[in-house]
Amino acid sequence: MNGCFVCKEGGRLHYTYGNGRHETICERLNMCPDIITEHNLEQHRAALRSVDVIFCTWDMVPFSFSQLSEFFPSLKAVFYAAGSVQYFARPFMDRGIRVSSAWQTMARPVAEFTVAMITLANKGALPAMRRYQTQSMAESNKLTRLVYPGTYQTAVGILGAGAIGSQVIQLLQAYPVDLMVFDPFITPEKMRGLGLARTYSLEEVFSSCQTISNHIANNPQTVGMLNYDLFARMNKHAAFINTGRGAQVVEADLARALREEPLRQAYLDVTWPEPIAPDSALRQLPNVFITPHIAGYAAQEVNELADSMIEEFDRFSKGLPLAREVTPAMLEHMA
């Protein structure tokens, strides 16, 4: 079987397929010797005509339908060692090319990071840390003993019960919190599997929860859906966590709500644009905690993503059902 690696020039392919993963793939397939980028398609035109599968990761080249028809006429499957395929997958699917992604694998570290942030937010740990550093231990303790409730019987809102949201819900079932989930697309079967008796509206979640964590699918319909009307409903010391996508948040509205109630918190691992604009109001607020999109895999953890795609290729090559395939219907509701 013939294959190739595809990545934008200067991208992170070797980062993900490092520590022997690149070599493992080359041992199993007849691989194009060069990484295919946005600039060398013509150079490798002859070899690409017989390529059956592509291995890729973040920084995948978003080929058009016509480019796929012209340069990859034999392509049957794409193995994407990362999460969301929204930015490149549709032209492949329109040509009947199967796309597999490590989205389920990717969900685990994001869910673990999110639950850690929920715990810290419920305790007011980072505001307390800042107050301790700038004022005193006594002033810091006022936050943790009188303002922020901790975990016990605390209402936690989860926006979206997709791959990551579902894992967050499952992890939180070990905590004594009261879960309120918003997801207009969740099925009764999935609700039963997650132990949910009902779902809630966005207005109910923002009005009732101490901490709200965003995992809503990223698509044109969800851009800007988290706005001032919702953020203003948060209680005076509630927290908003975003490890999903930044475009769903109206940044100026979030900043306004945080200025109005300084004990509110925002934990943002994603922003829009990314990196966050230098003059963003959120960068100036002491109750905003921004991390550089680190909820997913880091360092050697990324090799698990490559391993999952090697396993998926093995299933494909043996004619077995794919375990991580993304279908066109799934794209409608996925991040």
Quick: pLDDT tens for 234-276. 999 999 999 999 999 999 999 999 999 999 999 999 999 999 9
DSSP assignment of 287-300: TEEE--S-SS--GG
Mean pLDDT, range 208-220, rounded to an integer:
94
- Output the average pLDDT for the chain: 97
Q: Which of 293, 315, 324, 333 is catalytic?
A: 293
Same domain? 308 vs 245 = no
Alpha-helical segments (H) within the chain = 13-16, 21-28, 45-48, 65-71, 89-94, 103-123, 125-134, 137-142, 163-172, 188-194, 202-208, 228-231, 251-260, 303-317, 328-331
* Nearest alpha carbon to residue 194 among 218, 217, 172: 172
Give me 90's structure tokens. Answer: 């549709």
Mean pLDDT, range 147-156, rounded to an integer:
98
pLDDT tier at 92, thresholds 50, 70, 90: very high
3-state DSSP assignment of residue 282:
helix
What pLDDT does residue 217 have? 87
DSSP assignment of 41-109: TGGGHHHHTT--EEEE-TT-----HHHHHHH-TT--EEEESSS--TTTHHHHHHTT-EEEE-HHHHHHH
Q: 57 CB contacts (<8 Å, ≥6 apart)?
A: 7, 11, 12, 13, 15, 16, 17, 80, 81, 82, 302, 305, 306
Q: Give the domain range for residue 37.
A: 2-105+299-331
Global pTM reads 0.86
Same domain? 247 vs 117 = yes
Q: How many domains does the structure of the chain reveal? A: 2
d(CA 143, CA 239): 14
Q: Which of 21, 44, 245, 324 is catalytic?
A: 245
d(CA 71, CA 51): 9
What tens digit of pLDDT does each residue of 270-314 get?
999 999 999 999 999 999 999 999 998 888 889 999 999 999 999
d(CA 73, CA 80): 19
- The answer to whether residues 105 and 84 touch, using CB atoms and an 8 Å cutoff, is no
- The answer to whether residues 55 and 79 touch, using CB atoms and an 8 Å cutoff, is yes
Does residue 20 carry a pLDDT above 80?
yes
Same domain? 20 vs 100 = yes
Residue at 212: amino acid letter: I
259 is a catalytic site residue = no
What pLDDT does residue 298 have? 81
Same domain? 323 vs 279 = no
Same domain? 75 vs 223 = no
Same domain? 262 vs 157 = yes
Instruction: Provide the CATH number for the domain around residue 314.
Output: 3.40.50.720
Same domain? 257 vs 317 = no
- The answer to whether residues 16 and 22 touch, using CB atoms and an 8 Å cutoff, is no
- Its sign, for the CA torsion 224, 279, 157, 233, is negative
* Nearest alpha carbon to residue 155 among 233, 225, 207, 232: 207
Distance of CA 21 to the CA centre of its chain: 23
What pLDDT does residue 265 have? 98
Same domain? 208 vs 120 = yes
What pLDDT does residue 218 have? 84
What pLDDT does residue 190 have? 97
Same domain? 193 vs 244 = yes
Does residue 332 carry a pLDDT above 90?
no
The single residue listed with the structure tokens 């964590």 is 213
44 is a catalytic site residue = no
Same domain? 11 vs 50 = yes
Same domain? 175 vs 285 = yes
Does residue 335 carry a pLDDT above 80?
no
What percent of the chain has a predicted confidence (pLDDT) above 70? 100
Instruction: Count other C-beta atoms under 10 Å from residue 147's C-beta.
Output: 13
Name the region of 20 (left: φ>0; alpha: ψ -120 to 50; beta: rest): left
Does residue 111 carry a pLDDT above 80?
yes
Mean pLDDT, range 222-230, rounded to an integer:
97
What pLDDT does residue 55 have? 99
Same domain? 54 vs 89 = yes
